[in-house]
Amino acid sequence: MNAIPSNYSNQIPFHIAIDFVIFGYDEEELKLLAAKRQSTDDHQQWSLIRGFLFKNEHLEQAAARIFKEIMGHSSAHLEQLHTYSNPDYESGTYIISVVYYAIIRLSDQNKKLPKDLDAKWFNLKEIQELIFDPENIIDKAIQDLQEHAKTIPIGITLLPDKFTLTQLQAMYEAILQKKLDRGNFRKNILSVELLEKLDEKDKTGSRKGAWYYSFNENKFNNLIDNGVLIKISL
């Protein structure tokens, strides 16, 4: 049982696809990147971004390569979500799809996608009606992202270096897809003691202004090195 069956490789041509659920946060809502892909019955449909694994690379290397080809940079953390099998008995192909997800800060700059890629950013409601996703991969990625978002600092990278608690709350609301109570949010987020109040206010929203905060990355890394997992009640 443990050895590769002797005629195994001739018999079964597997293709290893890497599919991406790429979320973008534009300081208002979560968006998702989808691309037009030829379906088996020769229609075009909106699908997850897809690339293929090459023999000279590991899965993580292929994921990073393809992500960079799409986005033009490689600064996001890619998280492996799940692996699906898609045999297509008619055409005789069998695709193994390893799904990764990432969340990036959607500034004007990375809204520009390679021109040869027929891809677009959708909001979540829109895309769930349009996309071909029989396995509910997007839902699963959102759930996983929401679970991870409660662990600082996954979301912090989506904000500028200095931010107000209102901006922080808006980000969590976009990821968790629900409104949070302002008082409880502030109490909970400050209780993990990883935010530093700066000596500066954002005065664009009101005359009184709102204090800017920054994330204390050193303190966070120290906690991680000591095996401490920080989880926010949200």
Chain residues binding a copy of itself by CB under 8 A are 1-5, 8-9, 11-16, 35-38, 47, 49-60, 66, 69-70, 80, 82-85, 87, 93-96, 98, 116-117
* 69 CB-side CA count, 13 A: 14
* 213 in Cβ contact with 196 (< 8 Å): yes
Nearer Cβ to a copy of itself, position 5 or 183?
A: 5
Query: Which residue's CB is nearer to a copy of itself, number 7 or number 204?
Result: 7
| Pairing state between β 93-105 and 14-25 | parallel
Q: How far is the CB of 148 from a copy of itself (least distance, A)?
A: 12
64 touches 74 (CB < 8 A) = yes
Q: Shortest gap between Cβ of 198 and a copy of itself (angstroms)?
A: 35
Bridge partners (DSSP) of residue 84 are 97
Residue 199 C-beta: closest distance to a copy of itself, Å: 39
- Least Å distance, CB 76 to a copy of itself, is 18
Q: Rank residues 77 and 203 by Cβ distance to a copy of itself and give the closer one.
A: 77
Pick the closest to residue 176 from 153, 156, 150, 151 (CA basis): 150
User: Do 11 and 52 meet the contact criterion of CB atoms below 8 Å apart?
Assistant: no
Cβ proximity to a copy of itself: between 90 and 199 the closer is 90
Min dist. Cβ of residue 98 to a copy of itself (A) = 5
Of 61 and 191, which has the nearer Cβ to a copy of itself?
A: 61
Alpha-carbon span 188 to 185, nearest angstrom = 5
How far out from the chain centre does Cα 165 lie? 22
